[in-house]
């Protein structure tokens, strides 16, 4: 019952349909990163699909479908990260450096971090998971949704989902 209450709160606590991670073998060798989608509820939404220039987020049969990804097509461009209104798309690049990864995270808050800033990397419930360093900040759609590229320890990729500017 506790897991059900937690999910109803909007916090994804376990693997379930709609929570899609890249295959481990491809993830560890794919330069530029691969998308992680954590969108476990069937709702009428498809901006991740319509914003993907590579066709990696497959077409929906129904506007309420959960996203499905063709990881062979994903370029790690993060356009879906910037477009998702639910902040449910992330990109992780495990080829970034020895023992480190690059996370591309949606960011809609102020102040906007700058390259070189230290940030607190947060988990799904807002707890601090680790420290990170801002490597880049982009605004792909020029709509004030930024994508912050943060270097983190590689073993935290499945935990980090947001940042807090310190």
Burial classification of residue 29, based on how many CB atoms lie within 10 Å of its CB (0-12 exposed, 13-18 middle, 19 or more buried): exposed
Q: What is d(CA 139, CA 148) in angstroms, rounded to the nearest whole number?
A: 9
Give 8's pLDDT tier (boundaries 50, 70, 90).
Answer: low
Q: How many domains does the chain have?
A: 1
What's the length of the chain?
166
How much is the pTM?
0.89
Rounded to an integer, the average pLDDT of 34-48 is 92
Strand partners, 104: 91, 149
Question: Rounded to whole angstroms, how far apart are CA atoms 109 and 99?
Answer: 29
Nearest-angstrom CA–CA distance, 71 and 13: 23
**More confident of the two residues 53 and 27:** 53
pLDDT in tens, 10-23: 666 666 666 778 88
User: 92-120: buried (b, 16+ CB within 10 Å) or exposed (e) per residue?
Assistant: bbbebeeebbbbbbbbeeeeebeeebebb
64-118 pLDDT, tens digit per residue, is 999 999 999 999 999 999 999 999 999 999 999 999 999 999 999 999 999 999 9
The answer to whether residues 102 and 148 touch, using CB atoms and an 8 Å cutoff, is no
pLDDT at 13: 60
For residue 140, what are the domain limits?
2-165
- State pLDDT tens for residues 104-144: 999 999 999 999 999 999 999 999 999 999 999 999 999 99
- pLDDT recorded at residue 68: 93
């Amino acid at each position: 019952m506790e897991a059900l209450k937690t999910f109803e709160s909007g916090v994804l606590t376990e693997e379930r349909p709609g929570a899609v991670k890249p295959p481990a073998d491809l993830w560890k060798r794919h330069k530029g990163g691969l998308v992680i989608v954590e969108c476990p509820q069937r709702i009428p939404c498809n901006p991740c699909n319509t914003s993907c220039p590579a066709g990696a987020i497959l077409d929906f049969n129904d506007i309420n479908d959960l996203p499905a990804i063709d990881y062979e097509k994903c370029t790690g461009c993060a356009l879906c990260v910037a477009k998702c209104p639910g902040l449910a798309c992330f990109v992780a690049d495990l080829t970034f450096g020895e023992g480190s990864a690059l996370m591309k995270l949606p960011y809609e808050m102020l102040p906007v971090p700058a390259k070189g800033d230290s940030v607190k990397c947060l988990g799904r419930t807002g707890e601090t998971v680790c420290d990170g360093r801002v490597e880049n900040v982009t605004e792909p759609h020029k709509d004030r949704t930024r994508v912050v590229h943060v270097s983190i320890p590689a073993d935290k990729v499945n935990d980090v989902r947001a940042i807090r500017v310190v």
